Structure 1
Amino acid sequence: MALKVYDLQCDHGHVFEGWFGSEDNYETQRARGLLSCPVCDSTNVQRKLSAPRLNVSHLRAEAQAPAPQGASRQAANAVAAPGGAQLAKLQAEVLRHIRGIIRNTENVGDRFAQEARRMHEGEVAERAIRGTATPSEQEALAQEGIAIMPIPAFLDDDRLQ
């Protein structure tokens, strides 16, 4: 049986692959709400337009540059590329892990800059926090040597609601 591989996208913009026995199988699963995004679990999933898969590996082999001097061709070209389904699974797992880390932080809200400074100066015990900071607060923290990292809204459950 030949499988149909479709590029799918959820309403949050996450793109992933779905493998189906037929067009009808895809439509039935979508209509019953059985399809879900591996990143955010949204069941609002649509099929994207996708180009047909073409076997052009022979063209890539012809275009490869020679290996750097002293390196074997095999070592110079060693890479890893998981298949589409593997990549979607890996992406989903990484994002679930990141969301878990974020969920296990204390949300200090707009007191973020103040709390980050207090921890940096040893006034309070270090702990994982998240919150909001203005651009000028973020710049001041960076100048003080306090490392911070923006969290995209789609990873923060508090901002998704």
Structure 2
Amino acid sequence: MIKFSLICDQGHDFEAWFRNTGDFETQKKRGFLECPSCGSTRISKALMAPNVSTARKREEVAVATGNGAQREIMAKLQEMARAVKKNGEDVGERFPEEARKIHYGESDPRGIYGKATPDEVASLLDEGVEVLPLPDLPEELN
């Protein structure tokens, strides 16, 4: 896909996306292009500034798209997951059963983590068992 800056014979500027330059030419010849402001079908390409990627521009894009915030959130989630795994016991697939035993006083209170389906988590929460699902996270930030 390619984006062109276009201009009509009345001087209205606008942009449009095309599969390639040939697609623009075909649509122009067939009269499919129309100015969104005035409806003119006399359309031509306008001068375009090249899209040059610079370090500053990449930084502006990262800030605008939230990548910095996303990295910070991911780092906090990874830190929390590491703390849970360091201080808790991995009970694997037995997580729902062990969480209930702890909640109902049938087992000594301790930090645990493991696997549970979304339905099992919902059931635990309905029973008042406090659980926090931890997503699988990459160790390294990309």
**Common fold: TM-score over 0.5:** no
User: Smaller-chain TM-score range?
Assistant: 0.3 to 0.5
Structure 2 length as normaliser, TM-score?
0.44
Greater CA radius of gyration, 1 or 2? 2
Structure 1 length as normaliser, TM-score?
0.40
